[in-house]
Structure 1
Amino acid sequence: MPWTKAARLQYQRSGLRYTSDLTDAEWALIAWKMPPRQRLGRPREVDLREIVQAIFYILSSGCQWRALPKEFPP
């Protein structure tokens, strides 16, 4: 099935840092599955969305963890 103009607009990845990054609509679909912040313990230092985007970057590019761009958290 060929791409239609409407489908191209719907799945457009421009405006993102990397093509593996999540749009706000995609993040809304999986954000509720992420563990909530806990009252006790050390507070989170990084955003879970950045962690998920780093995992997707590795899966799509096949690079090593050490080869991640510096924009992603350690």
Structure 2
Amino acid sequence: MPWTEITREQYRRDDLRYASDMTDAEWALIRRLLPRANRRGRPRKTELRRVVEAILYIVSTGCQWRALPQEFPPYSTVQGYFYRWRDTGRWQRIVSVLVRR
């Protein structure tokens, strides 16, 4: 949908901590593309939404992995998820869904 005065409200990011953070509507689009927690083994403690938002922060700011703000999960965790998702093609699907929307 093109950017117009009528649709401007849905593109506002004033209430988000960072401009790269996702809205609830954007999160709803990609949540189903992310892996579910494994029922066996150690329970997942990291919220995948925060991981995706950290990756989007790095992409939008160009910062180094180690310069990731403290509000996000540890950079090594984010980096591990990103590399795994990149190698399996999952990150490409996530980006495609967000861009198409």
In structure 2, C-alpha distance between the alignment counterparts of 1:3 and 1:11, rounded to whole Å: 8
Q: How many residues align?
A: 73
Partner residue in 1 for 2:39 = 39
The DSSP-based 3-state class of the residue aligned with 1:6 is coil
The two structures have a TM-score, normalised by structure 1, of 0.92
Structure 1 residue aligned with 2:19: 19
The question of 1:51 aligning with 2:46 is answered no
Distance 2:3 2:57 in 1: 24
Q: What residue number does 1:69 align with?
A: 69
- Which protein has the larger Cα radius of gyration, Structure 1 or Structure 2? 1
Paired with 1:11 and 1:49, the residues of 2 have a C-alpha distance of 19
- Percent identical: 63
Unmatched tracts of structure 2, length 5 or more? 75-101
Looking at structure 1, the residues matched to 3 and 54 of structure 2 have their Cα atoms a distance apart, in angstroms, of 28
Which residue of structure 1 lines up, in the alignment, with residue 84 of structure 2? none
SS at match of 2:26: helix
Amino acid at match of 1:65: W
Q: Which has the higher helix share?
A: 2
Q: Which runs of 5+ in 1 are unaligned?
A: none
Question: What code does the residue aligned with 1:20 have?
Answer: S
Which amino acid counterpart does residue 71 of structure 1 have in structure 2? E
